[in-house]
Amino acid sequence: YSNYFSGRLWSGNDWWQETNDVILFTDTETDLLRAEAQVMLNQGLAAANTLNNSTAGTGTTTIGFTLYSETNNIVADATLSGGYNFTGTETKAQQQFALMREYAVEVAGLGGAGTNWAFMRRHDLLQEGTMTMFPVPGTQLEILGIDIYTFGGVENAGTAGTASGANSWTALAAKAGLAKARPAGDNTFTPNNAKIDASSINTLSAKGAKSN
């Protein structure tokens, strides 16, 4: 979704034009939060109705002004989602996946950062090694005389502050019947220690991943 996000919110390198507003919160996110609460309360039919009236169904995101990218034909339509129909017979996993898609496609970048991460954290969907909270800044720890620590990293998976990945979004996709889950601990497409070197690039290429 990153290419779409960049195109949609690109504003000629000048967001502070008179035609642009600063987005704090959207009605789209309000709809998704309502549907999410209904899913968590096992109110499948109510969640379906809310989703059908949200961007998932209608495909309309209202922010009160027309984005620069749409006005200047950088993107044909500033709303990418929509066209889905929910009946209330979906499984909880299917409705959760629908919500995650909307957070990733429609809400990302509109009214704050980290909305998709926060959604996945609330539902224990973060991949193995993803941090679940922010550590105290190192400068403050030094002032207080407390040892430096951090969160995140596959080597810390399952410990306080770091997701285990046991119920990651890939596992949710499998539960929803949309994809096969990648087992926790399988980092086939991750270069060793995130360092790009000749051997890791060759490994990635052999696995079918693209290297630039």
pLDDT tens digits, one per residue of 85-107: 899 999 999 999 999 988 887 88
Span 166-174, mean pLDDT? 86
Tokens of 45: 């039919």
Q: State yes or no: pLDDT of 189 exceeds 60.
A: no
pTM of the complete model: 0.71
Write down the domain spans for the chain. 2-122, 186-212
pLDDT of residue 207: 29
Burial status of residue 175 (CB atoms within 10 A of its CB: 0-12, 13-18, 19 or more):
middle
Mean pLDDT of 152-159: 90
Single-letter amino acid, residue 133: M
Q: At what angle do helices 44-52 and 92-102 cross, to 10 degrees?
A: 30
Model confidence band, residue 46 (pLDDT cutoffs 50, 70, 90): very high
Of 4-18, 142-156, 183-197, which has the strongest mean pLDDT?
142-156
Place of tokens 């499998």: 174
